Structure 1
Amino acid sequence: MIKVLVADDQALVRGGLVAILNLEPDLTVVAEVGDGDQVLPAARRSEPDVALLDVQMPGMDGITATEGLRSSVPGCRVLICTTFGRPGYFARAMAAGAAGFILKDAPPEQLVDAIRRVHAGLRAVDPTLAAESLATGTNPLTEREREVLRAALRGGTAAEIAKALHLSNGTVRNHLSSAIGKTDAANGPDAARIADQNGWL
């Protein structure tokens, strides 16, 4: 029996995933959580074979949770299941140690097959997304540039971003300028939008 942990902040989606998986004779859901901060404690308690994680959740995101599971529950393999098919998310998830990445609009049988493949030590990735990730390339942004762009995405002037991040106005302008060049954007908000769409933030 393959023991599965399901983490998704949307209760309806989470309930649907649990129902689909529990119909399979060789799968059983041993834990379900709706918040990223609950993933590691639930995994330590239930010792799942596979964790099915969403990327965007309250608290810890799915990619950070993947890294945590690798170190604290090494026997658990991770399959990312998300609505956000962004090349940057795919690349970051795989770099964090995920064994698979599948989109929520995949047919149920594809999801079930992906769980079985991941449990067997294989990879299970959306082929279109893998190709897009190769075409897009690696994330060109530094950690500080990502931090500035995340703040820009929420809105605000360079001065407001500088105050929020405890940086000088000039430093923020330099990071924005660098990010604009790396993303071929027209301005800071455009750079933030492009980076977000690629999953680089």
Structure 2
Amino acid sequence: MIFKCLGCGNCCRLSPITLLPHEVHILRREARRLDINVEIKPGYMVYDTVSRSLIVLSYHLELDSKTRRCPFLMSDNKCLLHGRYKPYTCKSFPYVPREIHYIVDRLTKTIAHRSIYGISTACLFVKQHSKKIEELVKLYGIQKIFPNEYKNAHEAETWRKWYMAALTLLWRHGLINLYSDVNVEDARRVNAYDFIVARMIVLRSILLR
């Protein structure tokens, strides 16, 4: 048995959708193209004392306040992003992170993360085949039942590792100085992707001197 989306739309109504920093730009572009209003809020942030900025490592695409569903979901449960770009959270559902922990180690100037994945029971397919899925996962592993979703989750984790590695590199070269437990509400918030790209240009110029 291999997972097949039944088009129930439960995943699009469940909760705000977690986005990686670079996905924010893609979804805003798609929203402009479709003339759709979207609300995207910052999620996890770390404070950089060098730039005096809060670096946003994750975002949340909020559900529509009236319909209580993803703004890209139509009334017939069809996704307006289908065939263009879907966030990793959507592409990996129902195999999604239950928890994502970020670790900021000031002693070694390292930032890392740890994700704990699970199978969402909000998915209609999972509800209908829960016992069978449980048996098959024990025998063959997640990737056998959810091959595409597992692949997409792996890609999402690769991106998260890229963000962590890039910030660690910048930190060890003295271009940033991170704190995870500093609450600076009035600090400007910057998209981690934009921040890293800009700082990497500076680092490259330093290394080429």
Normalised by the size of structure 2, how large is the TM-score? Answer: 0.25
Greater relative contact order structure (CA < 8 Å, 6+ sep): 2
Higher helix share: 1
Alignment TM-score, normalising by the size of structure 1: 0.26
Higher strand share: 2
